[in-house]
Amino acid sequence: MALTNLLDYETLRLLWWLLLGVLLVGFAVMDGFDLGAGMLLPFLGRSDGERRVIINSVGPVWEGNQVWLILGGGAIFAAWPFIYAVAFSGFYPAMFLVLAALILRPVGFKFRSKMPGARWRAVWDWLLFVGGFVPALIFGVAVGNALAGAPFKFDDSLRITYAGNLFDLLTPFPLLAGLISVAMLAMHGSAYLAAKADEPVAGRARRTGAVAALVLILLFAAAGLWTAYGLPGYRVAGALAHDADSNPLGKTVSVAVGAWVANYRAFPLALAAPGAGFLGAALAALLLMLRRDGLAWIASALGVAGVVATAGVSMFPFILPSSLDPASSLTVWDASSSRATLFNMLVAAFVFVPVIIAYTGFVYRVLRGRVTEAQVSSEHSSY
């Protein structure tokens, strides 16, 4: 009871904003490398044996990594119902593309080796590429649209109207964000394969990862300049109650170019997020060239976490702004579930997230070591 009283509504909302960020970072780091490995499969593997090395490097762990996607979606559904309602209905065509691409992954892993024909396996290799590239691109486009604002609004009874379509999501800034996501996961997947796969795949992964990291730095810098000097941002005009019942229409929002950088002037420590993005990518490129593969993956994970965190820190307290009606924008303080729901979910998260982390660590320890072509050619290989 004392703990319940200690965690007021404002604190619970802030904790769930932080926890949502942790879950999204966890998804980008843990599932990001196998998405990256999938999109690089046709390019880093130049023979059937080499491609089987890549597939067997991620095959035993990719399903477990999907837990972070499920946790993130579940957290949005339960803790942020307004966000879930807008994003999963307004972005439905994009979500359908992501789900269709993700479905190709288990099918590709299971069916690729069912027949020995080169054409059969080449088709599945390219489908696995699609299963990695499309989610990487669309997730980045979604974040870009969140920064640019989505075309939705609420009426007086809080019914949602969404005025966009799939092609409206593919505007220049969201596409730039999508390219950042592709470069980021290509770097991360390359770093993983450099540490996990045997030669010559590891050597190609090192070179590809270093290039992807440098591309990420350039694209991330371009997005930062665009956000500061060309992209309209959102700002709450006046005071907004942090502990009132959720009502997205209870505020006034102004729109101005450069508004997203205001958080960095108010809270200089927030610069740690983009700083981690740049530093992690630069270190990953350097460590890959130095063949310090394990450290390169850690640096790459830091870069991924920094890039993802930058979006959340830049937008705070907004989670999904509205370009159609700025007053309908969804923030940390007016888009959450009830206080009781947030508290009960927080207890469940504190119980189960550490269990998931511990189990994940155990699995990766058991599966440590490089995957060789001799291993995947044995009768015990699964893929």
Q: For residue 6, what are the contacts with CB-CB under 8 A and spacing of at least 6?
A: none
One-letter amino acid of 100: A
How far is the C-alpha of 233 from the C-alpha of 230, rounded, in Å? 9
How many structural domains are present in the chain?
1
How far is the C-alpha of 174 from the C-alpha of 377, rounded, in Å? 42
What is the domain range of residue 367?
Answer: 13-227+339-376
Query: Does residue 28 lie within any of the structural domains?
Result: yes
Residue of 124, 107, 137, 112 whose CA lies nearest to 35: 137
Query: What angle (nearest 5°) sits at the alpha carbon of residue 319, between those of residues 313 and 322?
Result: 125
pLDDT of residue 61: 87
pLDDT in tens, 220-265: 999 999 999 999 999 998 777 777 888 888 888 999 998 998 888 8
pLDDT in tens, 30-62: 989 999 999 999 999 888 888 999 998 998 888
Query: Does residue 37 lie within any of the structural domains?
Result: yes
Half-sphere exposure of 333 (CA within 13 A, CB side): 13
Q: What is the pTM of this model?
A: 0.91
pLDDT of residue 379: 55
What is the per-residue DSSP string for 268-303? GGGGHHHHHHHHHHHHHHHHHHTT-HHHHHHHHHHH
pLDDT average, residue stretch 173-187 = 96
Question: CA Rg, the chain, in Å?
Answer: 21
Query: Does residue 118 lie within any of the structural domains?
Result: yes
Query: Does residue 197 lie within any of the structural domains?
Result: yes
Half-sphere exposure of 10 (CA within 13 A, CB side): 5
- The DSSP letter of residue 44 is H
Q: Is 105 helix (H, G, I), strand (E, B) or coil?
A: helix
How far is the C-alpha of 180 from the C-alpha of 215, rounded, in Å? 8
pLDDT at 332 over 90: yes
Can you read off the two tokens belonging to residue 196? 């996990």
pLDDT at 163 over 90: no
pLDDT at 181 over 90: yes
Query: Does residue 330 lie within any of the structural domains?
Result: no
Query: Does residue 251 lie within any of the structural domains?
Result: no
Query: Does residue 271 lie within any of the structural domains?
Result: no
Query: Does residue 350 lie within any of the structural domains?
Result: yes
